[in-house]
Structure 1
Amino acid sequence: MTQLYYRPLVQSGPRPEGALPLTGGPLWFDRVEVLSRDGARFAPVTDLPEDWQRRLCRPRPALAGLSMDVPRVMGILNVTPDSFSDGGAHDAPEAAQAHVRAMIAAGADMIDVGGESTRPGAAEVAVADEIARTAPVIEAIAPLGCPVSIDTRKAEVGRAAAQAGAALINDVSGFAHDPALADVAATFGLPVCVMHMRATPADMHVDPHYDNALLEVYDELAARIDAVEAAGIPRARILADPGIGFAKTAQHNIEILNRLSLFHGLGCPILLGVSRKRFIGTIGGAAQARDRAPGSIAVALAGLAQGVQMLRVHDVAETVQAVRLWQAVQTGQIASQG
């Protein structure tokens, strides 16, 4: 039997009669694209199966104290010497704290702390070294009032981060690298971000192949979310990340981004991380990662238009400004920033 997938064709503005709310928020849809391995067609929402309608429409609960009914910005703090974009810029404690304070002042809703580069070709970092890089920083910045997430694949790093005050665990391997990390999250009652990736950062970039990138990534991410849920983490505490740039070519990235709203069918808020990635430079003509903010913001806003709830970014001030303008245009109202 052919498996069918239902992608909402997301719209904004006043919701007409008969249209359905996307994840309980202000965006809506009255048509869907029905996808399969055999092709695609369009259909009215009256054709939606009940389980898909429930997953697409139900409101997303708050995560780490943040409501999911407005776009959220996660600021990146890499305390590493070798991250692809800003390696070595914030690995000293004083520089890390100063950068966090600047991101919070610029409007970041969450800070994501990483102590191991996951750029293509990166080598694995020893657990003790990763803890030494991340736990003291988390302990120092957690009292600043902005939720902190730990970007790690390892259970012991996650445990140390949780003890230091982390409010979310973000695993690029989808909790496949070290399944005990999901147990840590369940023990501490922390929400998680489950990302799609094949292989490891060291080799994920070597000739990635998909027959249908969109549907294969959806299925594989759904399987990882099911595994995390089985480990004791309710779906209400799970963010889903399609893993743009991880084991994907530029063409794969674009195919997924073009139909990104399909991932609402997972029943979780969507996190989108495209900031400064290689395909931004390839398509936008920006060889240096630091010059990719305009392209990163363009893709981020396209994601918001498909209902993405959280953006993971390097350029917080620029992204927050863009999001506020996007919201004003979409709603026709200027929101208070107080």
Structure 2
Amino acid sequence: MSLYYRAIAMTDAARPEGALPLAGGWCWFDRVEVLERGRAPQVIAADQAPAEVLQAMSAPRAPLMGKALERPLTMGILNVTPDSFSDGGTFAAPEAALAGARALARDCDILDIGGESTRPGAETVPVAEEVARTAPVIAALRAGGLDVPVSIDTRKAGVGRAALEAGADMLNDVSGLSYDGDMAAVAAQSGAPICLMHAQGDPATMQQDPRYDDVLLDVYDYLAGRVEAARSAGIGRQQIVLDPGIGFGKTLEHNLSLLRRMSLFHSLGCPLLVGASRKRFIGTIGGAEEAQARLGGSVAVAIGAAMQGVQIIRAHDTFETTQALRLMMAQT
């Protein structure tokens, strides 16, 4: 059976001599949790883990779109769709989208623009329609002088290509290159960073009784396979960002299992992204039926992820999230 190694992330000021940096960032570790399917976890000293594992865990990640990953970055969400789960229709009109993008850009490091809802039960949007929703907004933002890096949230190669041509800098594929066989070529040929996410099933069906043998290790194995597929397609490792896909084909307990041991994914050697903002499990635990009322819970999850070394936090409420992350970093 395979062994999995998770750095136990710490931010305490009393850092022991010999402790290693986690992904070259703000967290450190001197212990490692060893995981194996069907067996209880074990904790060992970091220097007892294999050297190649420690290297993957501790090595600094390359800058992303010119931004050093020495602090958590906030990725602001702009859904130019009529049916997204928390803000559907708010930014569907072009002028509203531009105004929303400029407002978000004041408080985020990356702006993530999507033209197809991936909420549970959402239907697929044709490529031409998704391009029409997103590419003109990106082009207008660039024409207006916006210099914040822009990510295109899409599963489709044609949409990704059009967005890059309009001035986007990054691809964010919730299917992890599994929906459109041409997406890998778009990333390889452009050299743009690409986020590969785990999802069980299609958005239309993903929340219909999702099941795993071991959600943490199953998601890890999937992302490891996606990294290898991307590398085989000519995508450089320094281009790859990984997202465990909170809320995508996962129950409340699945989400919590991933969040509790999020630092496991640093062993894959790539920057990590977590997007849990306003999701249903936050409302269930926090007692907030309406998505817009989930700010406090969303920020709490963001801080928890950052304290495990996650480099990119995807959020709707960028001002509050960035403020919280700054205060967290001031205390590390």
Query: For the superposition of Structure 1 and Structure 2, which TM-score range results when normalised by the shorter chain?
Result: over 0.9
Q: Is 1:240–2:242 an aligned residue pair?
A: yes
Q: Distance in 2 between matches of 1:113 and 1:269?
A: 20
What is residue 163 of structure 2 aligned with on the other side?
161
Q: Distance in 2 between matches of 1:320 and 1:41?
A: 35
What is residue 135 of structure 1 aligned with on the other side?
135
Q: Distance in 2 between matches of 1:130 and 1:104?
A: 22
Q: Which amino acid aligns with 1:139?
A: A
The SS at the match of 1:144 is coil
User: Given the two structures, how large is their TM-score scaled by the length of structure 1?
Assistant: 0.95
Structure 1 residue 185, shift from structure 2 partner: 1.2
What is residue 6 of structure 2 aligned with on the other side?
7
Q: Which amino acid aligns with 2:181?
A: P
Structure 2: which 5+ residue stretches go unaligned? Answer: none
Q: Distance in 2 between matches of 1:251 and 1:264?
A: 21
Q: Is 1:194–2:193 an aligned residue pair?
A: no
Structure 1 residue 14, shift from structure 2 partner: 4.9
Q: Which amino acid aligns with 1:9?
A: I
What is residue 215 of structure 2 aligned with on the other side?
213
User: Given the two structures, how large is their TM-score scaled by the length of structure 2?
Assistant: 0.97
Structure 1 runs of 4+ off > 4 angstroms?
none
Spell out, residue by residue over 1:234-258, the C-alpha distance to the aligned partner (whole angstroms, 9 max, x if none). 1111110000000100000001100
What is residue 16 of structure 1 aligned with on the other side?
16
Q: Distance in 2 between matches of 1:155 and 1:21?
A: 36
Root-mean-square deviation (CA), in Å?
0.9
The more displaced of 77-86 and 6-15 is 6-15
Q: Distance in 2 between matches of 1:63 and 1:321?
A: 21
Aligned residues: 328
Q: Distance in 1 between matches of 2:138 and 2:234?
A: 25
8 Å contact from structure 2 (residues 201, 249) kept in 1: yes
Q: Distance in 2 between matches of 1:59 and 1:29?
A: 14
Structure 1: which 5+ residue stretches go unaligned? Answer: 331-338
Q: Distance in 2 between matches of 1:14 and 1:57?
A: 19
Q: Is 1:68–2:59 an aligned residue pair?
A: no
Structure 1 residue 128, shift from structure 2 partner: 0.5
What is residue 328 of structure 2 aligned with on the other side?
326
What is residue 109 of structure 2 aligned with on the other side?
109
What is residue 264 of structure 1 aligned with on the other side?
266
8 Å contact from structure 2 (residues 26, 309) kept in 1: no
Q: Distance in 1 between matches of 2:132 and 2:246?
A: 28
Q: Distance in 1 between matches of 2:146 and 2:262?
A: 33
What is residue 336 of structure 1 aligned with on the other side?
none
What is residue 120 of structure 2 aligned with on the other side?
120
Spell out, residue by residue over 1:181-222, the C-alpha distance to the aligned partner (whole angstroms, 9 max, x if none). 110111111010000012110111111001211000110111
What is residue 333 of structure 1 aligned with on the other side?
none
Q: Distance in 1 between matches of 2:100 and 2:26?
A: 33
